[in-house]
Amino acid sequence: LPGQSEREKGERKRIRLHAADWARPTCKRLSWACSQSWWAGPSSFPSLFHLSASRVSRPPTATSTRGPSSLPPQAARQPPGRRGEASRTDAMSSPSPLCAASGSTALRAPPPLLRFRRPAAAVSASVARAAPAVSDDLVLRIAEQLEDSVTSSSPLLDPLRSASALSLLSTPWPTRRSSEAFRFTDISYLRSFPISLPSRAPDLAPPASPFPSHVHFSDGLLVSASGAHVSSLADLPPGRARDRAAAALAASAEFAHKDLFYDFNAVGARDVVVVHVPEGVKVADDPVQIMFTYTNCGAESMLMSNPRILVVAEKEAEVAIVEEHFGAGEEGGCYWANPVAEIIIDAGARVVHSYVQRQSFAAAHTKWTVVQQDTSSKYEFVEVSTGAKLNRHNLHIQQLGPETETELSTLHLTSQNKQIHDLHSKLILDHPRGFSRQLHKCIACGAGNSIFDGNIKVNRYAQQTDAGQETKCLVLSPKALVNVKPNLQIIADDVKCTHGAAISGDLDPNELFYFQARGIKTDTATDALLYFFGAHVIKRIPFKPVNEKALAQFKELLASSRQMTNEALLS
């Protein structure tokens, strides 16, 4: 325009570039609003653009909010060739349903982008993130049920419970469209049944345990224990164990990466299983086995359990944890297990964590594992998941000191039709000379769906870090689906980091030929190769009774899934 300065020209060009990121239906309205603001003067333009683009209230300031109603008369004229813009000007001047108050001044968001309906695909990602999240009826109904089910609670749990209850008020139910974390994971199965909560532990005989120290829970309620102090969290005697548990639970209330299921557990957990290992105590050779069994409450509702584990390994301590989740009733039992495990590893300590999930094939299993490692500590994790119709595991690990080691090995098998297995892992390295290795394997059969989202973040001060991530997936059926999303974020400049992902629809022909050259049939060779593909991870469980049982079940499920796949191909 005539008389514009170079600075004003640059501002207008920059704003045009920003406006180009919007969808086409939005650009027309936004460009007109920008022109109106430009006629009022360059100084008013950034303010109007900020409010229109973000769809939220303007941040409180000492000055009054400037909008189209404060423009000079020449700015209110319609641009030639545009029809119906007068109604838009009125809409911009009218009060918005989204309004925030600061003192006596009401701050309004201009509503053109809010009141004109348009397809959801036309909304940019930044606008969708800025829109206020509102919880839905199902979330609030489940939260109320969980609160009502907890008749008495330890004061140590109150900060965590209060923070999660407040978070649930503004947490919507995640869907594949609304949440990037659930982009490939359909959790609509959880909405298929009304939720019920256990009132007492079922009358079931506790399963036999090969280890002297074990605890058995059924539907989240304590059934039996051996080699452990049994009491409620509130009745823990004063001392180091109580102090560390209180500090850990208070810190859990500030956990920033939690989601809906984490909050559900915090509100509905009646107590906490605390495994406290004092300084210098080493019990890694004799593990603590924690068994969780779940039952079916009938076809009319889904029984929901929210067990919670807290492991604290103090300085130079060593401990091994065997965590097992399995169905105790009918094979097709329908229930919802929502456990959380928090592990705190002090300087120089070591934790060996073996996790086996073999739920009913009609169950839902949503789990959180949160680990914090201090200087020179070591965490070894092995997971074998074969059950549940819906299985979601959020694995979050943070290294809080230098020379810290983390080793993760996971195996997922979707052997039944329409099984969904999802592993979301996040490893944050913040300090120098950290070491990490992650191996994830999955086998998808039938119409199963396997998802892996692995995120390793090496921050600026994590120099001389050695991090590696490897993913290997087998798709054995035309209807099976595998989604792999490895993510390695490196901010430091002196590191050694690698990651790789491989998805195959068949086994290596050279390996099959090796078997056939020795007179072994193709089917037998295929079964052997698939077995050893999974056994590579299962064998990393350091306790023979656990890995032998897991291997036997894995072999059985693999054989049945192979038979189902062959029948489907023949038909």
Least confident of 89-93, 99-103, 254-258, 513-517: 99-103
What is the pLDDT at residue 567? 63
Domain ranges, ordered by start, for the chain:
6-130, 208-509
**Which residue, 353, 151, 371, 331, is CA-closest to 251?**
371
Taking CA atoms, 427 is separated from 23, 32, 314, 398, 488, in Å, by 35, 46, 21, 6, 10
pLDDT band at 124 (very low <50, low <70, confident <90, very high): very low
530 has a pLDDT exceeding 80: yes
What is the pLDDT at residue 443? 95
**Which residue, 401, 393, 333, 320, is CA-closest to 357?**
393
Tokens 């000079």 label which residue?
72
pLDDT tens readout for residues 342-366 = 999 999 999 999 999 999 999 999 9
Q: Region 264-277: what's the mean pLDDT?
A: 92
Relative to beta strand 449-458, strand 195-196 is unpaired
Share of the chain above pLDDT 90, in %: 49
What is the pLDDT at residue 565? 67
pLDDT band at 52 (very low <50, low <70, confident <90, very high): very low
Q: Region 217-237: what's the mean pLDDT?
A: 81
What is the pLDDT at residue 17? 43
6 or 109: whose pLDDT is higher? 6
416 or 385: whose pLDDT is higher? 385
Taking CA atoms, 492 is separated from 311, 378, 459, 489, 565, in Å, by 31, 22, 6, 9, 46
What is the pLDDT at residue 466? 95
What is the pLDDT at residue 136? 80
pLDDT band at 186 (very low <50, low <70, confident <90, very high): very high
What is the pLDDT at residue 354? 98
Element housing 472 (H / E) = strand 465-475
pLDDT band at 15 (very low <50, low <70, confident <90, very high): very low
Structure tokens at 265: 């557990």
Q: What is the mean pLDDT of the chain?
A: 78
Environment class of 527 (CB within 10 Å of its CB; exposed 0-12, middle 13-18, buried 19+): middle
57 has a pLDDT exceeding 80: no
What is the pLDDT at residue 281? 93
The pTM assigned to this predicted structure is: 0.76
